[in-house]
């Protein structure tokens, strides 16, 4: 069917039930039950039990090269503990994109660092390693670490970041919070969030992937009181372990990942079709056919996001400015150094999260498509 015929099948009305921006998709109770019964049988509830070991092994097996995965209580803590595990020098700057979620900056501060907000590349919307090299030469203070961010689940080539680490000796951690589906290599430590709103969710959780066993050993100890096989606290640490119950959800989510992924990809394809004749709406490259995430984030003409958001709201179509005006604009980070950020400002004025979830009905997809086409007309 021609997409405009598909769209005209439904004329949106504000009286229609609102289309939510997201509906997290987690395994149902019956899918988790066999894992819960394993916990009952074993009576091992936390502290690196068999379900956690299995979950981490299955997460690690998704990587192309030999890689280890170590879980933590959430993605934010995983980032903090990764910076600590890499001995990022306290008090120094942590270079990061301004175009990120506030968790990236919070994590750096919790690791004793000061966020330094740098602008992203105008084409890719993520940090460019060559630009970072140039900025490092003009840093407003001693730099302790670098955090590139894989925006909204997109794949991020880790190779330039591994080279930057080798050349500068700086600790680098990749924040790939929403990139569960697209992360396939971790030559530098890479964090993936397992929050309920992510494509593979456990509720609250996250993991660090790395090819470096010594780093993973230290990271693991940092999630567990600084213990390394005995009861001595080797260094100041945290308790950021995942319980077996959380791992039960994670294992059930992995079991159904192939069908979850197909559902996300099919819905993404339908949204793309519904907006085929609205070229002002630019999807993330490869989103849908090549990789999936749990959000649909599009770029609109610069400066138009406010008006489009209001027009969609009037039609009962919910949207979200996931990263607001940029991380640097939050009051918590007002005293942190920031470069001039024209690209971040443009992206903030143009980026909109549209309704998108794995089991989105065709009718809801069409309402989003038609309301957006009208808003941009």
Residues lying near ligand PLP in the complex (CB under 6 A): 74-76, 100-101, 103-104, 149, 175, 177-178, 193, 195, 206
**Other C-beta atoms lying within 10 Å of the C-beta of residue 187:** 20
Three-state secondary-structure class, residue 176: coil
Smallest distance, Å, CB 254 to ligand PLP?
A: 17
Q: Which is nearer to ligand PLP, 160 or 203 (CB)?
A: 203
Task: Give the residue with the Cβ less far from ligand PLP, 131 or 320.
Answer: 320
Which pair of structure tokens corresponds to residue 223?
A: 């999630």
- Closer CB to ligand PLP, 78 or 373, in the complex: 78
Comparing CB distances to ligand PLP, the nearer of 7 and 59 is 59
How far apart, in whole angstroms, are the C-alpha atoms of residue 356 and residue 22? Answer: 6
Least distance from C-beta 316 to ligand PLP, angstroms? 26
Distance of CA 267 to the CA centre of its chain: 19
CA triplet 274, 276, 277: central angle to 5 degrees?
110
Nearer to ligand PLP, 227 or 322 (CB): 322
- Which residue's CB comes closest to ligand PLP? 75
Question: 296: which strand partners?
Answer: 354
From the CB of 246, what's the least distance to ligand PLP, in Å? 12
Instruction: Name the residue nearer to ligand PLP (CB basis): 75 or 326.
Output: 75
- The answer to whether residues 298 and 268 touch, using CB atoms and an 8 Å cutoff, is no
Rounded to a whole number of angstroms, the minimum distance from the CB of residue 205 to ligand PLP is: 7
Q: Is residue 224 within 8 Å of 239, Cβ to Cβ?
A: yes
* Cα–Cα distance measured from residue 130 to residue 118, given in angstroms and rounded to the nearest whole number: 12
CB of 324 to ligand PLP, least distance (A): 12
Cα 87 off chain centre by: 24
For residues 154 and 174, is the Cβ–Cβ distance under 8 A?
no
Q: How far is the CB of 136 from ligand PLP (least distance, A)?
A: 22
**Taking the complex as a whole, how short is the minimal distance between the CB of residue 76 and ligand PLP, in angstroms?**
3
Q: Which is nearer to ligand PLP, 119 or 364 (CB)?
A: 119
Q: DSSP secondary structure string, 215-254?
A: HHHHHHHHTBTT-SSSS---SS--B-PPPHHHHHHHHHHH
Shortest spacing between CB 330 and ligand PLP, in angstroms = 13
Strands 93-97 and 143-146: parallel
Distance, CA of 87 to CA of 195 (rounded, Å)? 26
Which residue, 149 or 268, is less far from ligand PLP as judged by CB?
Answer: 149
Question: Alpha-carbon distance 127 to 138, whole Å?
Answer: 16
Work out the end-to-end distance of the chain between its first and last CA atoms, rounded to an integer number of angstroms: 23
């Amino acid at each position: 069917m021609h997409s405009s015929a598909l769209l005209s099948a439904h004329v949106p009305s504000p009286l229609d039930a609102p289309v939510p921006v997201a509906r997290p998709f987690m395994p149902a109770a019956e899918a988790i039950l066999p894992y819960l019964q394993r916990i009952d049988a074993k009576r091992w509830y936390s502290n690196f039990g068999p379900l956690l070991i299995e979950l981490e092994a299955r997460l690690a097996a998704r990587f192309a090269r030999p890689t280890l995965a170590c879980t933590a209580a959430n993605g934010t803590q995983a980032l903090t503990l990764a910076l600590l595990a890499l001995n990022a020098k306290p008090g120094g700057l942590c270079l990061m994109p301004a175009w990120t979620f506030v968790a990236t900056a919070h994590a750096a501060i919790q690791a004793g660092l000061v966020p330094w907000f740098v602008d992203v590349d105008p084409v890719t919307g993520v940090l460019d390693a060559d630009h970072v090299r140039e900025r490092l030469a003009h840093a407003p203070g001693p730099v302790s670490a670098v955090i590139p961010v894989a925006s909204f689940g997109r794949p991020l080539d880790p190779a330039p970041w591994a080279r930057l680490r080798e050349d500068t000796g700086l600790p680098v951690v990749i924040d790939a919070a929403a990139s569960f589906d697209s992360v396939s290599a971790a030559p530098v430590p890479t964090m993936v969030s397992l929050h309920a709103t992510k494509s593979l969710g456990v509720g609250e959780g996250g993991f660090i992937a790395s090819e470096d066993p010594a780093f993973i050993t230290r990271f693991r100890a940092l999630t567990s009181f600084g213990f390394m096989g005995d009861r001595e606290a080797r260094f100041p640490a945290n308790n950021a372990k995942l319980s077996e119950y959380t791992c039960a959800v994670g294992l059930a989510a992995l079991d159904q990942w192939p069908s979850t992924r197909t559902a996300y990809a099919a819905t993404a394809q339908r949204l793309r079709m519904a907006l085929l004749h609205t070229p002002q709406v630019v999807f993330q490259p490869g989103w849908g056919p090549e990789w999936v995430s749990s959000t649909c984030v599009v770029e609109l003409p610069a400066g138009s996001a406010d008006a489009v958001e209001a027009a969609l709201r009037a039609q009962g179509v919910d949207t979200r400015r996931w990263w607001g005006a940029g991380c640097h604009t939050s009051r918590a980070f007002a005293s942190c150094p920031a470069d001039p950020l024209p690209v971040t400002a443009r992206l903030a004025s143009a980026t909109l999260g549209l309704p998108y979830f794995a089991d989105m009905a065709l009718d809801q997809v069409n309402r989003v498509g038609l309301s957006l086409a009208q808003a941009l007309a």
